[in-house]
Structure 1
Amino acid sequence: MRYFVEFSYHGKAYHGWQRQPNATSVQEILERAFSLLLRQPLAVTGAGRTDAGVHASMMVAHFDTDHPVDMEDLTYRLNRFLPGDIAVHRIYRVQPDAHARFDATSRSYEYHLVQEKSPFLKDLAYEYRAPLDVSKMNSAAALLMEYEDFECFSRSKTDVKTYFCKISRAEWEEVSPSKLIFHITADRFLRNMVRAVVGTLLQIGEGKLDEEGLRRIIMSKNRSEAGASVPAHGLYLTDVSYPKTILKTNE
């Protein structure tokens, strides 16, 4: 039987989502908890990977068990067992072939940026003091939806078959005079893509790059042409969407 689990985590203590041989990952901690509480070796497959230090306010994964589980009770017991920086929100039954990664129709991220020192956001937002023209950054962000090949924003030497992504939302929100949030949604993302996009848009906000320059960067397909990647601690995975057909409705 296959189940989906929705959860969130603060990424500071982890070397990303994916299990790694010499570093602590969110996947490792979650698999250990599930295996102990369900008393069987258990693998958890995530909707995607997040890099070291990146947060998730809503991540999805799937797991398989031989016997039905009490979903509310398991959610409660997991939260009692897991460390304080990982929280399980919901577990639900899905079709046997439903896949947390391959069935996802879209993913959404936010990048949080503050323009003044804030001790309470030190590990949760990027402090960036340079004056920014948010209107220009939003105008440039809208251009991203005209393109599909984003090799210029991808980490080098990644084993992907295509650099094509369909972006459906890309915009900056002025939350307060000193805080900005960049929202972006697409059917898929490349490694390091959001952080590279944000770094490039900040160049536009500072007047170091214009919209035609952004177009040239995208057409170049060259990572070295785009802006530097912003730090991981400002990035959040905020949503993963699925078709309703994945739900197990007959029980």
Structure 2
Amino acid sequence: MRYFLELSYNGVPYHGWQRQPNAISVQEVIEKGLSTVLRTTIDIVGAGRTDTGVHAKQIMAHFDIEKDIDSEDLKYKLNSILPPEIAVRNVQEVAVNAHARFDAVSRSYEYHLTLAKNPFVLDKSYYFKKKLDIDSMNEAAKLLLNYTNFKCFSKSKTDVKTYNCTITEAYWKKYGDDLVFSISANRFLRNMVRAIVGTLIEIGEGKLAVGDLITIIKSEDRSRAGYSVPAHGLYLTNVQYPDNIYQLNGRKER
């Protein structure tokens, strides 16, 4: 049987999602917790691989186990032994061929900036001291929806078959002294969101014009785009799946 875990985590203490030989990762901690509670070795597959310091308000992962389990009981026990930076929000049985990564149809991220020095969001939001033209940043963000090849925002030497992504929304909102950039797409390249945000910030500063974004995208050259903003302001916020993955091969969803 296959189960989906819905998780949230503070990424600051971890070297990203993916298990690594010489550094602690979110995946490793969750696998150890599952293996302890279920008394068998459990491997999980996540919806994506967040980088060191990146947070997740919602991320999905799947695992397989031969026996039937009590989802609520597993959720309770996992939350009891996992560190405070990681929370299990839901455990749900899914179709046996459901895949947390490959079946995802949409992913959403937020990037948080604070324009005022605030010690209480030190590792949760990027403190930016300069004035920004939010209207220009939003005007440029809308242009992203007109393109699909985002090689210019991809980390160099990334092994991918295509740089094409379909962005469905991208916009900034201001909440007092805080700025939040929201973006959704069918898929994202490594470092893509942080590079987009850095480029939009340079537009907001007046270092780049709104139209320069088009030239940057068409260049397919990472060196033409803006800098990558710090990881601690980035949050994976939502992963969407088709409804049929919750159809349990003829059995009713519990």
List aligned pairs for 1:1-251, cutoff 5 A.
1-176=1-176, 178-249=177-248, 250-251=251-252
Name the TM-score, length of structure 1 as normaliser. Answer: 0.99
Structure 2 unaligned segments of length 5 or more: list them.
none
Q: Deviations over 1:131-181 (max 9, x none)?
A: 0010010000000000000000000001100000000010001111x1000
Deviations 1:12-70 (A, max 9, x none): 00000000111100000000000111011110100010000000000100000010110
Q: What TM-score does the superposition give when structure 2 sets the normalisation length?
A: 0.98
CA contact (8 A) 2:137 2:210 kept: no
Paired with 1:57 and 1:115, the residues of 2 have a C-alpha distance of 22
Task: Give, in whole Å, the separation in 1 of the partners of 2:120 and 2:247.
Answer: 42
- Work out whether residues 204 and 210 of structure 1, in 8 Å CA contact, stay in contact via their aligned partners in 2: yes
Identity of matched residues, %: 57
Aligned partners of 2:139, 2:91: CA distance in 1, in Å? 40
**Which whole-Å deviations, capped at 9, do the CAs of 1:155-213 have from their partners, x for residues lacking one?**
0001100000000010001111x100000000000000000000000011011111221
Distance in 1 (alpha carbons) for counterparts of 2:212 and 2:169: 21
Could you tell me how far apart the structure 2 residues matched to 1:239 and 1:37 are?
A: 27
Distance in 2, Cα, partners of 1:66 & 1:248: 18
- Give the superposed CA RMSD: 0.6
Distance 1:125 1:212 in 2: 28
Contact 1:93 1:248 in 2 (8 A): no
Structure 1 residues 60-110: Cα deviation after superposition (integer angstroms, max 9, x where no partner): 000000101100000000000000000000000100000000000000000
- Equivalences, count: 250
Amino acid at match of 1:216: T
1:248 deviation in Å? 3.3
Runs (4+) off by over 6 Å: none
